[in-house]
Structure 1
């Protein structure tokens, strides 16, 4: 899965010279929380809704309410935007984008190609992608977790063979190490078009530890 398939293209942007109050209106009207900031066709910053709400003139401490409101009304996005923008390429994998966002503590990454802003990828987009990858958006499926799964990769083939013997369909499969307990190893897979109880019994009869079965209808 690549960023270019999940990002929002043609993102809403603002000029660095736009007033903070106008940027807030755009965010509220568009129901978005972040705005890339442009100057001369180049990405020069990013502002967030929380950042706009917290915006205060630097000399505000000694000002009257009227003076404070006046300065706030004149404040531009360039005064409060984040200038060192963390960006990604459209060819990044979703995992790489997620790692980058987590590392820098940001909820969105502008997507830049050859110096041009072409999109934005947010936490919500990453959530959607991973839910899709794990098959969680598929209806009429069952999610099965096998605990203490073997280090022997051939065991994955055996699990699939058991599913195949029951004419079931594999939707997704993930092998998870050391989460959340070090040394723990889980095989999590989602299936459809199969008798789940029969599948669970065959797995247990073959020595697998079925720790969880949940279904989406």
Structure 2
């Protein structure tokens, strides 16, 4: 699962020499919150609605509305944008992009190719879409199992075998080591079809924390 599958491409961009007025119009017209800033197709910055809002009060506190419009029409995007933004390659794993967004506390990553040309943008909304896809949450009638398993080879297969033995078809498998005792891992499996009641009955004796949810 790679960035290129979930990114928005082509991205709505703006030239570094455009004015803030033009940037505001573009943000509103396209319903986006950020604009990658380009110079001849190369990424040089990123401009967000927050950047504009933070700029306006400092420059326009004592101005009336018409003077504010005049100021915005005179200021170039390059003077307000964030320069040298963190970017990512289209062939990067989607989880790497999510980690960068989380660790850096940012809401979007411009996507550039090997020649540093902008090819798209990956936003937090796109990452949420990837999470929905990876978990199979849109797959219609499914059942989700959540349980703690020993962290040793074969334990995921054992659970999957029980599901298959009762007619279930695996949709997604997720595991995590966060918040569980050492030597164990958290497991979430979504499956379609089968007999969820019989699957739960077969698993619960060895997994008393088993949680079963439909949909």
Common fold: TM-score over 0.5: yes
Query: 1:1-217 residue pairs with structure 2 within 5 A?
Result: 1-56=1-56, 60=60, 63-65=62-64, 68-69=67-68, 70-113=70-113, 114-147=115-148, 149-179=149-179, 183=182, 185-205=185-205, 207-216=206-215
Structure-1 separation of matches of 2:176 and 2:118 = 35
Q: Secondary structure at the match of 2:55?
A: coil
What is the deviation of 1:182? 5.8
Q: In angstroms, what is the RMSD of aligned CA positions? A: 2.0
What is the deviation of 1:191? 0.8
Q: Runs of 5+ in structure 2 lacking a partner? A: none
Q: 1:208 to 1:66 in 2, by over 3 A?
A: closer
Q: 1:73 to 1:85 in 2, by over 3 A?
A: same
TM-score by length of 1: 0.89
Structure-1 separation of matches of 2:134 and 2:146 = 16
Structure-2 separation of matches of 1:157 and 1:95 = 23
TM-score by length of 2: 0.90
What is the deviation of 1:209? 2.5
Q: Runs of 5+ in structure 1 lacking a partner? A: none
Q: Secondary structure at the match of 2:99?
A: helix
Alpha-carbon contact 2:167-2:195 (below 8 Å) kept = no
